[in-house]
Amino acid sequence: MKAQPKASHFVDGDYIEDTAGEVIEVTYAYTGEVIAKLHAATPAVMEKAITSAVRAQKEWAALAPAERGRILNRAVAIIRARNDELAALETLDTGKPLQETLVADWPSGADSLEYFAGLAATLTGETMPLGGDFAYTLREPLGVCGGIGAWNYPSQIACWKAAPALSTGNAMVFKPSEVTPLGALKLAEIFIEAGVPAGVYNVVQGFGAVGAQLATDPRIAKVSLTGSVPTGAKVYAAAAPHMKHVTMELGGKSPLIVFEDASIKDAVGAAMLGNFYSSGQICSNGTRVFVHKSIKEQFLKELAERTAKIRMGDPMDMATDFGPLITKRQYEQVAGYLEKAKAEGARLVCGGTALDGQFVEPTVFADVKDDMSIACEEIFGPVMSVLDFETEDEVVARANDTQFGLAAGVFTRDLARAHRVVANLEAGTTWINAYNLTPVEMPFGPVKASGFGRENSRHAIEAYTQVKGVYVGLNPVDSPW
């Protein structure tokens, strides 16, 4: 199977190559086959990407917002028409089952582009009457924004960053994860086909060093990163000397709390979605499942029965609903946590084995204690920790006792309790009687060490624009001199 693009980078409206850059091998996680060979961006490629973005941004920002919206909507139509082909490429890039990539990845990206295309023409300023004089505000784009992506939802991440950035008149230089570089190139191609001017959206490939250049180059006004907490700290620090705006979508260890009055069927379904979808490689996963002691055994029984029905296998087979982990390194890391959990005394309920072909069985550990490694560290694999609790105050305190604050969920039929608990949880994105649903209408983002800023919803506009205050003097100037 081959998925070799025309060239490594997409800059100023076309594919470009510079073979002097370090080689990036793209591997299909299911077979281990190398499906494409790319090169990291050299200084010459970076220079071309940034200068073309600086030039193109002015032209793009000068268009009427409704016109930008119309162009982005053409990209939405192209993505939807080509969803099958794009989903197959996403499966090759990530190893995620086609059953998922057909409905989750590019479709969510298209939703985001459609939402922000529609919002473009609705953004307005304010006027402040001052007694004769008045003031008004202009909402302006930041300029050229740098985007840096993670490997778990590569095309969705590319779209989620491009949509609010481009709709508000910014240009973007995007660096996908070196593990999954293919989808963003397609997005760049589609933008050109839709009529986005050359240079407005550029894709450069590379490892961390290329991302670091986006964080430090003074011509880039903002950096939006989706990645791990340690990388986020580095990028935030690198952006500081130029006071760049940042959006940081980082890791988590999110709690999912199941009270004794919850629908066990729904809570089990949500816990499975929040731990096993995309083989557990989702930042907002509810990996600490707190279950009330009185329903714990019933919950675990149903969970084990339903987990046994998960079908792992060839990701291209529509019957498969669980794929391999993305890389050998990730597989080994997750396998290491299985051993750690057993050594630290967690009770294995189901799964627990790392199989051939980078597959790790969907795994549930019960009787997990708050200080065990699997309860404290982000695993980014299909390993669920079930912890017992007895009271609401106790579970809220334990749920919040972490450096992370990305997401949280509550299952209960008591509505007053649901809203009270959610209000007390330290997380940027929360769900009541649901988990991991991220519609574009709702803000998505973190608190605490999980990062800063919001993607999706009207709030993402704040992340890609700034407000200029304009004072208009209509009275004679009152001066003491």
Binding residues for ligand NAI, rule: CB under 6 A, are: 148-152, 175, 177-178, 207-208, 211-212, 215, 226-228, 231, 234-235, 249-252, 283, 378, 380, 406, 446
Q: What's the min distance (Å) between Cβ of 148 and ligand NAI?
A: 5
396/407 with CB nearer ligand NAI: 407
**Which helix or strand (DSSP H or E) is residue 10 part of?**
strand 9-11
Q: Write the DSSP string, 332-380.
A: HHHHHHHHHHHHTTPEEEE---B-STT-B--EEEES--TTSHHHHS---
Using CB atoms, what's the residue nearest to ligand NAI? 211
Q: Scanning the structure block, which residue is given the tokens 């050998």?
A: 328
Contact 404, 253 (CB under 8 A): yes
187/366 with CB nearer ligand NAI: 187
149/169 with CB nearer ligand NAI: 149
Task: Convert 147-168 to b/e letters by CB count within 10 Å (16 or more is b).
Answer: bbbbbbbbbbbbbbbbbbbbbb
How far, CA to CA in Å, does 420 sit from each of 291, 355, 361, 366, 431? 18, 42, 36, 27, 13
Query: What distance in Å separates the CA atoms of residue 103 and residue 479, rounded to the nearest whole number?
Result: 65
Query: What distance in Å separates the CA atoms of residue 277 and residue 287, rounded to the nearest whole number?
Result: 12
Tokens at 194, concatenated: 């839709």
185/235 with CB nearer ligand NAI: 235
Query: What distance in Å separates the CA atoms of residue 79 and residue 202, rounded to the nearest whole number?
Result: 18
CA 235, distance to chain mean position in Å, is: 16
DSSP character at residue 32: -
Query: What distance in Å separates the CA atoms of residue 422 and residue 446, rounded to the nearest whole number?
Result: 14
Q: What's the min distance (Å) between Cβ of 173 and ligand NAI?
A: 12
Contact 435, 409 (CB under 8 A): yes
Contact 7, 16 (CB under 8 A): yes
Contact 442, 246 (CB under 8 A): no
Q: What's the min distance (Å) between Cβ of 278 and ligand NAI?
A: 10
343/437 with CB nearer ligand NAI: 437
Contact 155, 187 (CB under 8 A): yes
250/312 with CB nearer ligand NAI: 250
Q: For residue 480, give every residue at least 6 positions away whose Cβ sits within 8 Å of its Cβ, in sequence order, or none.
A: none
Q: Scanning the structure block, which residue is given the tokens 């986006």?
A: 214
Q: What's the min distance (Å) between Cβ of 280 and ligand NAI?
A: 11
350/360 with CB nearer ligand NAI: 360
Q: What's the min distance (Å) between Cβ of 144 and ligand NAI?
A: 16
Tokens at 470, concatenated: 């304009």
Q: What's the min distance (Å) between Cβ of 468 and ligand NAI?
A: 30
Q: Which residues are part of the catalytic machinery?
A: 249
Task: Convert 31-40 to b/e letters by CB count within 10 Å (16 or more is b).
Answer: beeebbebbb
Percent of residues in the chain assigned helix, strand, coil, to nearest 5: 40, 20, 40
Query: What distance in Å separates the CA atoms of residue 149 and residue 177, rounded to the nearest whole number?
Result: 5
40/53 with CB nearer ligand NAI: 40
Q: What's the min distance (Å) between Cβ of 450 and ligand NAI?
A: 6
144/418 with CB nearer ligand NAI: 144
Q: What's the min distance (Å) between Cβ of 175 and ligand NAI?
A: 6
Q: What's the min distance (Å) between Cβ of 262 and ligand NAI?
A: 26
